[in-house]
Amino acid sequence: MPSKLTILIDKWDKSRGGREIYLADLMRYVKNAGHPVQVLCQRSAEPDYTVTVQQVPHIRFPAFLREGHFSRNIHELIQKDKDYPVLTVQPHDAATHYQLHAGLYSTAFEAERESMDSTLRRWLYRPANRLNFKRQWLLNSQQKLLTGKAPPKLMTFSRGLGRELQQIYGISSESIFTLPLGVDLDHFQPATHPVTAEWERWESTKRREELRILFVAHNFALKGLNYIFRVLSQKKHFNLKARLLVVGNGPVTAYKKLARKYGITSQVLFLGGIEQRHLIQLYQSSDALVHPTFYDPWSLVTLEALACGCPVVTTRKCGASELFESGREGFILDDPRNTEALGEALRSLQDPQRLRKMSWAACQLVKKIDAKIHMRGMMKWLGLISCSVAGATESYGPSTNGLF
């Protein structure tokens, strides 16, 4: 009888973002391998007929009792499947496998605070966070899970996060399985296709010698959009001719006002959320993806861009920066606030020859970022296939010697 995989999540909604899309892809891969999959969640946005989705009864009010009641009910539901893997991307003590998709919440929340421009907002951030029950539950639950006597199996996407776990919680490297994320190379690949109509119209009004840069994120502040704006506003200082396309469901109205403040309205186009096929076309037609993030345990968009031959400018706070070399497939900045370094990186990309070399180098990374390799590694880690079936040429293991 094939093993059964149970996935725990607060809300099942594939339209929410990268985490849910990733889990949907994982479930499809596991199902195609012949293993049943079920999702246990607090709530579901809409019926999903591809997998078994069960909304677990729980107390909705008061909020401080909700998570505990949900967790207790999960324990009861999985008793009959206790010999099978239970995967969570959030800290739940019922799980046998914990994938730290969001990284360490303590680090993530501090990075969010650092990304705020306003001194007052930074000052108020910590007291407000302490009053946010959901965030406090996440912090406390993660702390208990990682310091408990019998923690679940742990997985990270990057070696950097693995080192954090060792340094902060004293977890041995042998207890941490590190496996980089991947992308579907059948879809994300270099090509020449028409881009979205709105972008095409905007493109036709600009001169081609301008650098075409792309920003993709929902959290505009955390991913450093403000600092890109600052660089664009100093075009004479950097001798930079560039225009920016912003993709994501962030606070567009506020950032349009910020663009006006910096005097760069004509250089920036906001598209909001778009379909994946259009996003692929934008990767293919852009000169660089700029992702000066304050914290990102991995960042799938950087891999998607690289697979499409689009160089990436990011920071060392991005786990995916471990996969490429600064100056070869793009640039890796030490500090997202260093607009001087960001401006110099973009200015150097105006050299057509250098840009072509970086684009070519990005395309050579496909062997490292194939989603099939990641999914086979996940199957092995979850105990759904043996090491030999995972593939003799692939190397999986602890954070000190994972697949890199």
Question: At residue 212, what is the residue type?
Answer: R
What are the structural domain ranges in the chain?
A: 5-184+371-398, 197-367
pLDDT digits (tens, 9 = 90+) for 231-255: 999 999 999 999 999 999 999 999 9
Collapsing DSSP to helix, strand or coil, 212 comes out as strand
Q: With left for phi above 0 and alpha for psi between -120 and 50, is residue 400 left, alpha or beta? A: alpha
Poorest-pLDDT segment among 147-156, 199-208, 341-350, 374-383: 199-208
Poorest-pLDDT segment among 20-24, 42-46, 208-212: 42-46
- How many angstroms separate the CA atoms of 74 and 237, rounded? 58
197-367 CATH choice from 3.30.565.10, 3.40.50.300, 3.40.50.2000, 3.40.80.10? 3.40.50.2000
The yes-or-no answer to whether 5-184+371-398 and 197-367 have a common fold is yes
- Is 389 a residue whose pLDDT tops 60? no
Topology of 5-184+371-398 in CATH? Rossmann fold (3.40.50)
Give residue 393's pLDDT band: very low, low, confident or very high (50, 70, 90): very low
Give residue 347's pLDDT band: very low, low, confident or very high (50, 70, 90): very high
pLDDT digits (tens, 9 = 90+) for 178-212: 999 999 999 999 965 445 555 555 555 444 579 99
Residues whose CB falls within 8 Å of the CB of residue 80, separated by 6 or more in sequence, listed in order: none
- How many angstroms separate the CA atoms of 230 and 245, rounded? 15
pLDDT recorded at residue 217: 95
165 neighbors 171 (Cβ within 8 angstroms): yes
